[in-house]
Copies of this chain bind each other. A is one copy, B any other.
Amino acid sequence: MVNTVEATAVNTIRTLAADVVHGANSGHPGAPMGCAPMAQTLFSKFIKVNPKNPHWANRDRFVLSNGHACALQYIMLHLLGFDVTMDDLKKFRAIDSKTPGHPERGWTEGIEVTTGPLGQGVSNAVGLALAQAQLGATFNKPGFEIFNNDTYVILGDGCLQEGVAAEAVSLAGHWKLGKLIALYDDNKITIDGDTAVSFTEDVQKRFESYGWQVLVVADGDNDFEAIAKAVEQAKAETEKPTLIKIRTTIGYGSQHQGEEKVHGSPLSADDIKNVKQKFGFNPDEKYVVPQQVYDFWAKRAEENAKVEAEWNELVAKYQKEFPTEAAELKRRLAGKLPEGWEKALPRFTPSDPAVATRKLSETVLTALSDVVPELIGGSADLTGSNLTRWKKAVDFQHPSTGLGQYDGRYVRYGVREHAMFAIMNGIAAYQGLIPFGGTFLNFLTYGWGATRLSAVSHLRVIYVMTHDSIGLGEDGPTHQPIETLALVRATPNIYTMRPADGNETSGCYLVALENDHRPSVIALSRQNLPQLEGSNIEAVRKGGYVLHAEQKPDVVLAATGSEVAIAVDAAKLLEKEGLKVQTVSMPITDLFDEQSHEYKLSVFPQNTPVVSVEALTVFGWQQYSHAQVGMTTFGASGPIKDVYAKFKITPENTANVAKDLIQHFKKIGQVPELPCQRQ
């Protein structure tokens, strides 16, 4: 091998990766060593990022979809000059270090999206590329390419096997996202050994079937030029995303190169010495970056800084020629919502007609569509049911289709829930757009792999989940969520919302948009619901609130969404029997948990029996209530009234449960302290 700087730089990555993983005594050396040439090529010749300003808006995006190879990414960030020191590399996988076991957005500078769960990164990248296309179409003007960055992905066999990726890359082909370039680390190895055991499809043909350009690099270990040429070719193709299939050797340089062994465990100390010797490094030195390599990257950093400086000049000129657009651009990039946007939220009074909350959600989205232009929404092929599309919406489609435009803000995801969620994560991560997406609540768990990452990585993604209970009726148990809200509530850093009427629907959107650091799941009814006495938008900010107050009530009835009206009717029944009933609506339980002890006791007074009503699992309600009206089995197919009657989610049964509870506590001589009442 010619000892050019480039070769030395590649071998620096390889030896450093071996050291970093060995230092942690845990991790994945094989992929970083195999992918070193493609990473070197991408970051030295193509990817424009500025380590001094990691959030520069038009930077190229890089996603390591095989996130377990993150030693590679940390090393590249270090070399590029991001805030990842050699010391940080030495703390790889140590607690609270900047270099955790998988890349975490928001934790380590320069990480665009959190990866590791396979298939997510490449799907996020589709969202990043969509966001570039959408913002480019929205803001660019002739001579002013404000948004024209590329999105690069490295991915492995694992990502290609995951269904979420299959869904997302099919959409990328449909959308003709020409600025999306994926480098496939084709090393013929997975954890179970040779890919021959389970992955024998023709990947090239498959990607061509999706409308991708596919290029092949035969020797990704040594032929750096071929890699660069392929990337050039990918950039030249502007109407198709490109997959570059690069044949590599996992753990290249190790005595066990090409074997599964080097995938998920450190190389032995001896093997590392061998690697270093092979690549002309001192076998007795660790964590070495030759000065010429540092110099090489310092030069690249200068070039990069210049590129951003030029872009800043361009934006300055843009500001003069297009002051309105420039002001909007500035606002978007600052992540600020338009002044007074919340005034557009519709308000209701009890005399307004009964409407399904999914329909009320449509009203909110319609009202916000002009006021909050960064909203970009869609549905997984349930537009007419989720009611996610405002009337004037333009579809996000390649202009050649005649079905929409790239500056369209309505996204047709097809029947691809998991990809929709992962793409929304990518859109949110890009900055400048707020994604929302709809499906039936029951199908939230088709894509939970992505939803959990919305929460882990603090992304403002809005899940518009309609048909949110057995109230969907005839479609039956396969479509009726039972366990779903318990899942969301059990998950940190995500709001679980279930509005009861129009004001609460507005309130839920208020909270979802205000919270720019977490996702929200809004559960919405299929069936019509009355506008409630006592409901209001701002009260939703407390998560739970008193709808009808009583001094020293005999019992509290707490409910969410479509069951609040049932609780209100149950209260009437109980009042007829002389009981004082306080009714409580709990649209966002997790937000209620954040309130003061005093406030919580005002909603759930001590020594007062509480019954909750929710037409989903009762699991978890024991925090707030002593007895639960809800589901303990799967649902059933039938007209909504019959289904509610079958499972006794009715005012009559609620009233009976309340009376029994009051009696029981009289008998045992205590009203037990509720978990939510403890300080």
A residues adjacent to B (C-beta < 8 A): 24, 26-27, 67-68, 93-97, 100-102, 104, 114-119, 157-159, 161-167, 170-171, 173-174, 190-192, 196-206, 208-211, 379, 381-385, 395, 397, 401, 403, 412-416, 418-419, 442-443, 445-446, 448-449, 452-453, 455-456, 473-479, 482-483, 486-487, 489-493, 617, 619-620, 622-623, 626, 631-634, 636-639, 642-643, 646, 664, 668, 670, 672-675, 678
Contact = CB atoms under 8 A, between A and B. Distances in A.
A167 B449 CA distance: 15
B211 A209 contact: no
A117 B443 contact: yes
Contacts of A161: 167, 170, 381, 414-416
29 contacts: A26-B473, A26-B474, A67-B478, A97-B637, A100-B636, A101-B474, A101-B476, A102-B479, A104-B476, A117-B446, A117-B479, A161-B416, A162-B446, A166-B167, A170-B201, A174-B201, A198-B413, A202-B210, A205-B206, A206-B206, A446-B449, A483-B487, A483-B491, A483-B492, A487-B487, A489-B619, A490-B617, A622-B623, A670-B673
A206 B197 contact: no
Given A104-B477, A205-B208, A486-B487, A95 B452 contact: no
A633 B492 contact: yes
Contacts of A474: 24, 26-27, 93, 101
A664 B679 CA distance: 10
A403 B197 contact: yes
Contacts of A201: 170, 173-174, 209-211
3 nearest interchain CB pairs? Answer: A163-B163, A95-B638, A672-B672
Total copies of this chain within the assembly: 2
Contacts of A473: 26, 101
A56 to B, nearest CB: 26
A639 to B, nearest CB: 7
Nearest to A646: B95
Contacts of A379: 192
Interface centre among A449, A633, A639 (most CB of B within 10 A): A449
A199 B395 CA distance: 14
A20 to B, nearest CB: 12
A348 to B, nearest CB: 28
Contact of A190 (B166, B415, B634): B415
Contacts of A381: 158, 161, 190-192, 198
Contacts of A633: 492-493
Given A162-B163, A456-B478, 8 more contacts: A96-B646, A101-B475, A102-B475, A104-B476, A162-B416, A163-B418, A206-B206, A455-B634
Contact of A639 (B95, B191, B637, B673): B95
A401 to B, nearest CB: 7
Contacts of A675: 622, 626
A25 to B, nearest CB: 8
A412 B197 contact: yes
A415 B490 contact: no
A162 B173 contact: no
Interface centre among A205, A617, A638 (most CB of B within 10 A): A638
Nearest to A472: B101
A640 to B, nearest CB: 10
A492 B383 contact: no
Contacts of A479: 101-102, 116-117
A199 B414 contact: yes
Contact of A94 (B620, B638, B678): B638
A226 to B, nearest CB: 24
Contacts of A196: 401, 403
A619 to B, nearest CB: 4
A429 to B, nearest CB: 15
A196 to B, nearest CB: 7
Contacts of A24: 474
A163 B419 contact: yes
Nearest to A205: B209
Interface centre among A171, A211, A637 (most CB of B within 10 A): A637
A199 B445 CA distance: 22
A476 to B, nearest CB: 4
A193 B344 CA distance: 31
Contacts of A383: 191-192
A118 B415 contact: yes
Nearest to A260: B384
Contact of A100 (B197, B418, B476, B491): B476
A456 B636 CA distance: 11
A395 B634 CA distance: 36
Contacts of A211: 200-202
B477 A456 contact: yes
A560 to B, nearest CB: 15
A118 to B, nearest CB: 5
Contacts of A446: 117, 162, 164, 448-449
Contacts of A173: 200-201
Contact of A101 (B197, B445, B637): B637
Contacts of A419: 163
Contacts of A68: 475
Contact of A200 (B157, B174, B619): B174
A486 B632 CA distance: 14
Given A161-B415, A478-B117, A637 B95 contact: yes
B102 A637 contact: yes
Contacts of A95: 636-639, 642-643, 646
A126 to B, nearest CB: 13
A593 to B, nearest CB: 9
Contact of A493 (B209, B455, B634): B634
